[in-house]
């Protein structure tokens, strides 16, 4: 165990934990965009910045709390003026990258930042901050790797290879659920029998007990192949299980 302080609160933490994990465990909020507890942190957005001093009298510095490990004697400040200024600049840069993202605009508003641009905007219609949370979720949690980053420089974008509908995507929608900026659009037909995502339509399976459409057929086939459970046994929605 190590002893540290976060916002003047004495805290004990396990060695190897990050400042973000420990702060959240102790009810201290730190904003994040590219972080998900089921994935390795990658430090892409920098919104989780905090100020740290190592307790040996060294000067403080601003670090990404999702990557920074706790240590004995560490002093963390999550709300200093310096931290707030860094987070505001980070948010303004992200807004310049993805000015059409409503969740981002809402987060910025909560931070006291208006919609006016401080930095030159990349593309007024863009909602993606290239945090790769969707790519890593598809690859590491779903195990499919249907999406990735394509192109370079200002054209860099996340999506299907060559912007063609993917043949390996199973329509699970995990990428859309984790996307923090609303970039990935997923629609369901009025009757619920078709889901559209990444430009492809997926037929939805109906629960054999209640008849409700609940998951794409391709997703159930994928689970069946991976687990060996017959697909018929998977045709039951979460509410009827
Ligand atoms: S949440 Fe830490 S860098 Fe994005």
Do 198 and 144 form a contact (C-beta atoms < 8 A)?
no
Please enumerate in sequence order all residues whose Cβ is within 8 A of that of 141, keeping only pairs 6 or more positions apart, or say none.
Answer: 38, 39, 174
3-state secondary structure of 76: strand
Cβ–ligand 1 contact at 76 (below 6 Å): no
Do 32 and 47 form a contact (C-beta atoms < 8 A)?
yes
Q: What is the pLDDT of residue 28?
A: 97
Cβ–ligand 1 contact at 202 (below 6 Å): no
CA of 206 to the centre of ligand 1 (A): 38
Torsion of CA 121, 127, 129, 131, to 10 degrees: 180
Cβ–ligand 1 contact at 23 (below 6 Å): no
Q: Which domains does the chain have, with CATH numbers?
A: 1-127 (3.10.20.740), 133-240 (no CATH)
Cβ–ligand 1 contact at 46 (below 6 Å): yes
CA of 32 to the centre of ligand 1 (A): 5
Q: What is the pLDDT of residue 57?
A: 62
Local confidence pLDDT in tens for the 241 residues of the chain: 999 999 999 999 999 999 999 999 999 999 999 999 999 999 999 999 999 998 666 789 999 999 999 999 999 999 999 999 999 999 999 999 999 999 999 999 999 987 776 777 778 889 999 999 999 999 999 999 999 887 777 677 888 877 777 789 999 999 999 999 999 999 999 999 999 999 899 999 999 999 999 999 999 999 999 999 999 999 999 999 8
Segment holding 194, helix H or strand E:
strand 194-197
Cβ–ligand 1 contact at 19 (below 6 Å): no
**Using CA atoms, how far apart are residues 124 and 10, in angstroms rounded to an integer?**
45
Cβ–ligand 1 contact at 86 (below 6 Å): no
Q: What is the pLDDT of residue 133?
A: 95
Concatenated DSSP letters of 121-165: -S-TT-------HHHHIIIIII-----EEES-GGG-EEESGGGSP
**What global pTM score does this model have?**
0.86
Atom of ligand 1 nearest to the CA of 49: 2
């Amino acid at each position: 165990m190590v002893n540290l302080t976060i916002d003047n609160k004495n805290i004990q933490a396990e060695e190897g934990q990050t400042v973000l994990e420990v702060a959240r465990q102790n009810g201290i909020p730190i904003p994040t965009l590219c972080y998900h507890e089921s994935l390795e942190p990658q430090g892409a957005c920098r919104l989780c910045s905090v100020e740290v001093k190592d307790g040996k009298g060294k000067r403080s510095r601003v670090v990404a709390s999702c990557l920074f490990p706790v240590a004995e004697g560490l002093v963390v400040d999550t709300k200093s003026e310096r931290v707030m200024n860094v987070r505001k600049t980070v948010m303004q840069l992200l807004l310049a990258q993805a000015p059409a993202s409503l969740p981002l605009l809402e987060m910025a508003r909560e931070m006291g930042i208006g919609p006016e641009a401080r930095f030159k905007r990349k593309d007024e219609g863009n909602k993606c901050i290239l945090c790769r949370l969707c790519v890593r979720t598809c690859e590491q949690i779903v195990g499919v790797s249907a999406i990735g980053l394509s192109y370079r420089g200002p054209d860099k974008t996340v999506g299907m290879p060559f912007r063609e509908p993917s043949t390996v995507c199973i329509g699970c929608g995990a990428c859309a659920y984790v996307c923090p900026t609303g970039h990935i659009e997923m629609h369901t037909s009025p009757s619920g029998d078709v889901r559209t995502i990444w430009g492809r339509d997926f037929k939805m399976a109906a629960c054999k007990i209640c008849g409700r459409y609940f998951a794409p057929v391709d997703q159930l086939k994928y689970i069946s192949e991976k687990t060996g459970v017959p697909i018929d046994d998977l045709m039951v929605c979460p509410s009827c299980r």
